[in-house]
Amino acid sequence: MANGLRVAIMGATGAVGAELLALLDERSFPLKDLTLLASPRSAGTTLTFKGEAIPVQALGEGSFDGIDLVLASAGGSVSEEWLPKAVAAGAVCIDNSSAYRMDPSVPLVVPEVNPEAARTHQGIIANPNCTTILMALAVWPLHQVQPVQRLVVATYQSASGAGARAMEEVKQQARAILAGEEPVAEAFPYPLAFNLFPHNSPLNEQGYCQEEMKMVNETRKIFGADSLRISATCVRVPVLRAHSEAVNIEFAAPFSPQEAKALLAQAPGVRVVEDWARNYFPMPMEASGQDDVLVGRIRQDISNPNALELWLSGDQIRKGAALNAVQIAELLQVPQAVGVTH
């Protein structure tokens, strides 16, 4: 780590933190030094990076001294408290929480969609919600050819969206149910193993939950389309890792499935997975651990000649969180292309 940036991972011991570590290694990110930050209860533990044991430090005053880049995945309240301090210390922060996503002064970036937005940062760049990122990769290539008029999406969200503890809880619940015992729910309000329920984030007065409104508001901001009509229904399903989505895309005029498939086959960050003879399409089991969002079952909406249907699966921890953050950090290494102002 002799050359490169001095990087801090905030929330290093979580599921996304672990993935950030793996990606910095896999993608040979230019590192000069690496600092691992977490809550006081995790301080003193060690994590391995490139064969070296690195101690985890408690997040506190002075944590960002000398740091160039902060990759934050420690929750909204933690980001709100500490990222302004990191910026004041001279660091650029890429935040995986919802704290700054809808702040007009903070760019919300999916590198395959709106990399130019990164040039407007004032120290903080927001990473979108996982479901938003996955949908954006599949819809944006089509939107560029013919602007989307309306999106109707249903999500099938894995336990990984609630972190490592939730993933372990689903395993424990499955073992309990199979043993004839009562499953215990702590990470979620209800047992998720062998069950599903609408996303448990807070509901607004219109009956839409917070997760659904993230998809609405964030997609509009990323696409630069304030009037884009979007309706989402988000559901927790008993899958360990990788989210899936059923997306209905309405245009002003017909858009052939064949053209859509050809466009998506060339789109960055997307892999078309279709075998109609075998009824084989994207599955979360196969999307887990993959960088690409798997997209398939691209078909004409038989109820609307101007609409297409598609199905996708993508790794929530990887492209839906850690990979997108690292890709944003990589953008910042090309100032002549991105025009970083900080």
Location of structure tokens 């990979």: 323
Q: Quick one: tokens of 237?
A: 């399903």
CB 123 within 8 A of CB 303: no
Could you report how far apart the first and last alpha carbons of the chain are, in Å? 24
Q: Is 241 annotated as a binding residue?
A: no
Q: Is 101 annotated as a binding residue?
A: yes
CB 44 within 8 A of CB 56: yes
Give yes or no: 93 in active site.
no
What are the phi and psi torsion angles at 118 (to 5°)?
-65, -25
Single out the catalytic residue among 130, 143, 199, 234: 130
Least Cα distance to 192 among 220, 157, 226, 243 occurs for: 157
CB 264 within 8 A of CB 295: yes
Q: Is 157 annotated as a binding residue?
A: yes
Q: Is 160 annotated as a binding residue?
A: yes
The residue length of the chain stands at 342
Q: Is 172 annotated as a binding residue?
A: no
Contacts of 163 (CB under 8 A, 6+ apart): 14, 15, 16, 187
C-alpha distances out from residue 128 to 113, 123, 318, 329, Å:
12, 16, 13, 14
Q: Is 13 annotated as a binding residue?
A: yes
Q: Is 42 annotated as a binding residue?
A: yes
Q: Is 256 annotated as a binding residue?
A: no
Q: Quick one: tokens of 223?
A: 């696409």
Give yes or no: 199 in active site.
no
C-alpha distances out from residue 107 to 9, 13, 102, 144, 146, Å:
20, 26, 9, 20, 24
Q: Is 15 annotated as a binding residue?
A: yes
Q: Is 126 annotated as a binding residue?
A: no
Location of structure tokens 């064969």: 51
Single out the catalytic residue among 121, 143, 199, 243: 243
Known binding positions for phosphate: 101
Known binding positions: 13-16, 41-42, 101, 157, 160-161, 236, 316
Known binding positions for substrate: 157, 236
Known binding positions for NADP(+): 13-16, 41-42, 160-161, 316
Q: Which residues are catalytic?
A: 130, 243
